[in-house]
Structure 1
């Protein structure tokens, strides 16, 4: 019932072996009309291969009556992306913006933490452009201004820009979500209850 009403947008974020059973925990989470997180299902995975993700997505899809979500928000993981493409080909794939923004400090620390306007410029480019042309222009200006033409990480990020930059997704319904934080929150909440239950089995 919940999925039929609120299954347009799903966040999916497997935690990487954070429990004592050393198994990835994968929750499917959505949001209802009160902006509350709702659970559509979850699984413990043996591994994080493409075959495992394909099995998981197909099993979950069958349980949801074969109805594809319109959009899925997840993290940047090749095996997961491949599984989604094969099992949910009509679902729009979007990357968690928070995880991408977090990497800027790691990948570009030499300018990110310096006394420069890079952080402000990049934030304005990503969050406050309302036309694709504006984003493209600002991105190019930043690349030139901070001499980042040879940065491979930024080049790769630009190639997949349609899967994470908000301006490319303005015509799609995401229920106000652009991160996987709801899935991560559900994992944290269920962790103590779920794995206590496993100990009793």
Structure 2
């Protein structure tokens, strides 16, 4: 789209609705574009609007500077809050601890993103169909995952070996999450 205005998104969403025989989506996953958010409320009332957590974390990286580095425990902890908390209580306690631990009570970005936590935090989507999607594009998600496993410009044999490790780790994580779910979310990390 050339212009990302409310009216443009409403036109696109209305066309989608017409093509779907009037059936609106149960859940829609987007970036934090305000115009899109307004159009979703107008055209798809009652649809769960969820923010892509990749975009939320990208903005965190841009806004938090030295707190958000690969070597920082803060980075690991905020990712865990976005990806692993199963209950609202876990999220609330973890968020509070994070803010106190790193002295970020006056950080504007964190205050704003916390205010809209129902848009991006996992516990607020309990019972909402999301097809395990937390990111807007498979390519964004896949590229992000691959960067953690595959060195740039590596030979094909290294790529294949590292990709195998990625698959193994993803399978292990899925098994862990399934076990955690069976235990009723009371499993502490």
TM-score normalised to structure 2 length:
0.69
- Structure 2: stretches of 5+ with no match in the other structure: 142-189
- Structure 1: stretches of 5+ with no match in the other structure: 1-44, 186-201
| Residue 111 (str. 1) matches residue 67 (str. 2) | yes
**Distance 1:55-1:118 versus aligned 2 partners, 3 A rule:** same
The answer to which structure has the higher helix fraction is: 2
3-state SS of 1:58 partner: helix
- Contact persistence 1:75–1:95 (CA under 8 A): yes
Q: 1:144 aligns with which of 87, 95, 100?
A: 100
3-state SS of 2:79 partner: helix
For residue 66 of structure 1, what is the aligned residue in structure 2?
22
Q: Let me know the Cα RMSD of the aligned residues.
A: 1.9
C-alpha distance in 1 between matches for 2:25 and 2:70: 42
**What's the CA shift for 1:103?**
2.0
- Contact persistence 1:54–1:84 (CA under 8 A): yes
**What's the CA shift for 1:125?**
2.3
**What's the CA shift for 1:127?**
2.0
C-alpha distance in 1 between matches for 2:104 and 2:140: 33
The answer to which structure has the higher strand fraction is: 1
Q: 1:54 aligns with which of 10, 31, 34?
A: 10
Q: 1:156 aligns with which of 99, 112, 132?
A: 112
